[in-house]
Amino acid sequence: MAEEHSAGSQKGHGKDNIIPGVKFIIAVSSGKGGVGKSTVAVNLAVAMALTGAKVGLLDADIYGPNIPMMMGVTKPPEQKDGKIAPAESHGVKLMSMGFFVPEETAVVWRGPMVHTAIQQLFRDVLWDKLDYLLIDLPPGTGDAQLTLTQLVPLTGAVTVTTPQEVALHDVRKGMMMFQKVNVPLLGIVENMSYFLCGHCGERTEIFSHGGGERAAAKLGVPFLGRIPLDPAIRDGGDSGTPIVVADPASPQSAAFKDIAQNIIAKVSSGEGNTPIESLLSKIKQPFSAS
Ligand SMILES: Nc1ncnc2c1ncn2[C@@H]1O[C@H](COP(=O)(O)OP(=O)(O)O)[C@@H](O)[C@H]1O
Ligand SMILES: [Mg+2]
Ligand SMILES: [Zn+2]
């Protein structure tokens, strides 16, 4: 069952593997909320599934779990032999705290509750065999992120940011957290990069161009690609049919698919195993601390 892991798969963290059938576990993170982390996670997961891979998506954003809505799943998952069978949508297996906590409930989770809740999302769910498990992390660097890195051997983390210079500070903070727990950073995705007019297709740079790419270069981590700010992408999330499914031939979908391919290439080549310390040591002029 767990023997077929290839390079870059789970190893070496000296912890019991609670999801042994999963080859690559990839965290999707962001410095703050509202940058489109969930939108990116959903479209990347579906894009990966479209390549024929077995893909799971775990909505670990316990503070605002909206992946079920974005994936068009309204029915809570079913119990099977004391475990929970993940929901399935657009070819992706999916589990979310949102199935169990009503959306209106603004739960104030404390450390131990966060730990237990996240642990259950792994241990009590029949993930079975997966090539990729994407995890939508809560924004920032709190209890949930740390819990997660302690519970499962992450192959690497992808960080989503918007192009504004001010967002770079958050990117660096997130990197420091992953570094502390030895999780390699696979790269940066710049979301809402430019505005793509739905009427004429014209491209408008709303923010200064290339903020995410400059951040990546400055921090010495790969730049995975940019996603336009586009009403069709938002509609995809609102309607439960991600744009990668709703309009697969669009340039917006191509952007997501390219990034998915980049990530697949990186983890398959074992790049996720490069310790982040060596990358951070390249940074000459760090941003001011915290
Ligand atoms: N590239 C984009 N173009 C247009 N709207 C977007 C884009 N990315 C995200 N959104 C919208 O922005 C809002 C926040 O996105 P979401 O993925 O929920 O962010 P986060 O998970 O980081 O809080 C949502 O309404 C979403 O549909
Ligand atoms: Mg979200
Ligand atoms: Zn126009």
Determine the pLDDT at residue 51. 97
Residues 134-153 pLDDT 10s: 999 988 877 778 888 888 88
**144 vs 29, residue with greater confidence:** 29
Amino acid at 101: V
CA 135 to chain centre: 5
* pLDDT score, position 108: 67
The percent of residues above 70 in pLDDT, for the chain, comes to: 84
Answer whether 229 contacts ligand 1 (Cβ < 6 A): yes
| DSSP structural state of residue 125 | B
pLDDT at 15: 56
pLDDT for residue 166 = 66
Say whether pTM exceeds 0.85. yes
- H or E, element range at 92: strand 92-96
34 close to ligand 1 (CB < 6 Angstrom): yes
pLDDT at 45 over 90: yes
Local confidence band at 1 (pLDDT 50, 70, 90 cut-offs):
very low
Answer yes or no: is the C-beta of 191 below 6 A from any ligand 1 atom: yes
> What is the DSSP-derived secondary structure letter of residue 86?
P
CA distances from 70 to 79, 109, 211, 243 (A): 23, 23, 27, 10
46, 51, 266, 267 from 184: Cα distances, Å: 23, 24, 11, 10
Mean pLDDT, range 167-183, rounded to an integer = 81
Q: Whose CA is nearest to atom 2 of ligand 1?
A: 229
Ligand 1 close to Cβ of residue 227 (< 6 A): yes
Residue with the smallest CA separation from ligand 1 atom 26 is 234
Which atom in ligand 1 lies closest to the alpha carbon of residue 229?
3
DSSP state of 229: B
Residue with tokens 């912890």: 15
Ligand 1 atom 9, closest CA: 36
Q: Is the CB of 35 under 6 A from ligand 1?
A: yes
Give the whole-angstrom CA distance, residue 233 versus residue 77.
26
Structure tokens that stand for 217 in this block: 């270069």
Most confident among 6-20, 96-110, 218-232, 264-278 (mean pLDDT):
218-232
**Ligand 1 neighbourhood includes 36 CB (under 6 angstroms):** yes
CB 8 within 8 A of CB 24: yes
The pLDDT score that the predictor gives to residue 170 is 80
Average pLDDT score, the chain: 84
**If DSSP codes are grouped into helix, strand and coil, which group holds residue 55?**
strand
Tokens of 250: 């669009």
Report the candidate in 231, 214, 232 with the shortest Cα–Cα distance to residue 223. 214
At 64, the pLDDT band (50, 70, 90 cuts) reads confident
Q: At what angle do helices 211-219 and 166-180 cross, to 10 degrees?
A: 40
Helix (H/G/I), strand (E/B), else coil: 242: coil
